[in-house]
Structure 1
Amino acid sequence: MAGSKVVLVTGASSGIGRATAERLAARGHRVVGTSRRDSPGEAPWTWAVLDVTDEASVAACVAGVLASHGRIDAVVNNAGLVMAGAVEDTTPDEARLSFETNVFGAMRLARAVLPGMRAQKAGTIVNMGSLAGRVGMPFQGLYSASKFALEGLTEALAQEVAAFGVTVALVAPGDTATPVVDNRVWAAGSRDPASPYAAACARVVAMYEKDERAGAPADGVAALVTAIVEGRRRGPRHVVGPLGQRVMVASRGVVPGGIFHWGMSRYFGLGR
């Protein structure tokens, strides 16, 4: 297609990342999809190995794409990790795992590609947030915290690089049918029956998993990301997902905090 872009998509082996890579490739863009391991299978794009938690891996991946294609026009920071568990049960090392992937991983890749984008006076970075980055979700507190942090990082970065012709945006999906249900990482303490949170945590996370399995297809998020990469959708923040979840997030800034938290606790069967 005219205006074909070189797009690097992280976490492209499944879910939103794969759907995004497929849609971009189908529209004629030159896509490099990444996975922490070797190529997960045949695809109409190039595969690259990338561990976003490793600085050397990020540098090698970006250097490889530049050597092959000469430029990077857009990055989709999709690689992510969902952690479940009570905050009290979560160790600092477990918390760091969530932030290393969801926050510092996106930051590492942005830092690696920005010199080239500034030099070419154009570029797009799309960070994959979550509705859990707008509302603190019980027993996914570290996941919410990392996505809250990514929201702030994205908003600040967008302002810093605008003068260089670089666009930065965040996409916040609601429940989406992806393998995240089976790949959720747990704080070990909350799986211990001796934890005072074990029963409530298991029940609430089961509610999340039920909603996720019934979630919207990943292609809806992929369509939005593609529109941002192609410049057809503008703005620093984009929310996509079921209407009820989007209303919940919107009400967060309108409904008094005490009432909002009461409603959340009632929904999840928490509190007194």
Structure 2
Amino acid sequence: GYGIGGAIEETNPEKVEAQFNTNFFGAYRVLHAVLPQMRKQGGGLIINMSSIGGVIGLPYQGIYSASKFALEGLTEALYKELYGSGIRIVMIEPGDFKTGFTQNREIITAVDGQDRFEASRRVIEHDEQSGQDPVKIAYLVEKIMNRKDPRLRYAIGAFDQKLSILLKKILPNRLFDRIIMKYYKC
């Protein structure tokens, strides 16, 4: 996968469509193709790769976050639709890991707020480049595959990133948003 970095207002519709084609419609097409066979065989396991950015709207990663929010909604709804069918569906919500994601990000140059974008971009890139070993995700996938009844969501990453998901649930929205904006230097 890949992400788009930059201001939402500066991102043209074609780039947004491409991001959704990769992060949402690609997963949807796979689901659409495999579900009939899984129903015939009486079960199966689907693991969708979401992101902490699909739980928390990240500044200057808004298009990426939106595509992952859509995947989260689809997976959550499908979890309910498939309940009791023998078909299990799971979302993995990674934080930052040392992958080629930073190098593959498409940067949209902001006209207004370029300084804020660059400050935020430095935080994002630092977190990604100092992220965890992606082998941890492989171990999690193996663990999920071996579980009889896996839960819907598995957040994985640095402690503070996983904690941010909990904080979003328990803090007032305004306070949580201020914490995120301060962290990302918005």
Interval of TM-score (by shorter of Structure 1 and Structure 2): over 0.9
Contact 1:227–1:233 (8 Å) recurs in 2: no
Aligned-residue offset at 1:232: 5.5
| Aligned partners of 2:4 and 2:106 also within 8 Å | yes
Q: What CA RMSD, in Å, does the superposition of the two structures yield over aligned residues? A: 1.3
Rounded Cα–Cα distance in structure 1 between residues aligned with 2:184 and 2:95: 17
Query: Of residues 258, 264, 267 in structure 1, which corresponds to 2:180?
Result: 264
Superposition map of 1:15-54 within 5 A: none
Name 1:183's counterpart in structure 2: 104
How big is each residue's C-alpha offset from its partner over 1:77-119, in whole Å with a ceiling of 9 and x where there is no partner? xxx2211110110111111111111011000001111111110
2:19 aligned partner? 98
Q: Distance in 1 between matches of 2:100 and 2:148?
A: 29
Which residue identity lines up with residue 142 of structure 1 in the other structure?
A: I
Which protein is richer in helix relative to its size? 2
Establish whether residue 203 from structure 1 lines up as the match of residue 119 from structure 2.
yes
What is the CA–CA distance in structure 2 between the aligned matches of 1:102 and 1:167, rounded to whole Å?
20
> Bigger radius of gyration, 1 or 2?
1
Aligned length: 186
Give 1:138 shift. 0.4
Q: 1:95 to 1:258 in 2, by over 3 A?
A: same
Maintained 8 Å contact 1:171/1:237: yes
In the TM superposition, what are the counterparts of 1:40-189 in structure 2 within 5 Å?
80-187=1-108, 189=109
Q: CA deviation at 1:266?
A: 2.0
Give the share of equivalent positions with the same residue, in percent: 36
- The Cα shift of 1:186 comes to 2.3
2:185 and 2:149 map into 1 onto residues whose CA distance is 39
Question: Structure 2 residue aligned with 1:219, among 113, 135, 142?
Answer: 135
- The answer (yes or no) to whether the contact 1:135–1:249 under 8 Å persists in 2 is yes
* Structure 1 residue ranges without an equivalent (≥5): 1-79
Match of 1:228 in 2: 144
The superposition leaves residues 123-176 of structure 1 with CA deviations (integer Å, 9 ceiling, x where unpaired) of 110000111111110000011111111111001111212332100010001111
Equivalent in the alignment of 2:171: 255
Q: If the length of structure 2 is used for normalisation, what is the TM-score?
A: 0.95
Task: Confirm or deny: 8 A CA contact 1:169 1:237 kept in the other structure.
Answer: yes
Deviation at 1:233, TM superposition (A): 6.4
Does structure 2 retain, via aligned residues, the 8 Å contact 1:176–1:212? yes
- CA deviation vs aligned residue, 1:195-215 (integer Å, no higher than 9, x gap): 013222122112111111110
Residue 41 (structure 1) aligns with = none
For the residues of structure 2 that align with 1:126 and 1:183, how far apart are their CA atoms? 23
- Name the aligned partner's letter for residue 136 of structure 2: G
| Distance in structure 1 (CA, Å) of the matches to 2:148 and 2:5 | 35
Q: Distance in 2 between matches of 1:119 and 1:181?
A: 40
Could you tell me which amino acid in structure 2 is paired with residue 127 of structure 1?
A: N
5+ long unaligned stretches in structure 2: none
Give the match for residue 8 of structure 1: none
Q: Aligned equivalents of 1:116 and 1:262: distance in 2?
A: 46
Relative to the length of structure 1, the TM-score reads 0.66
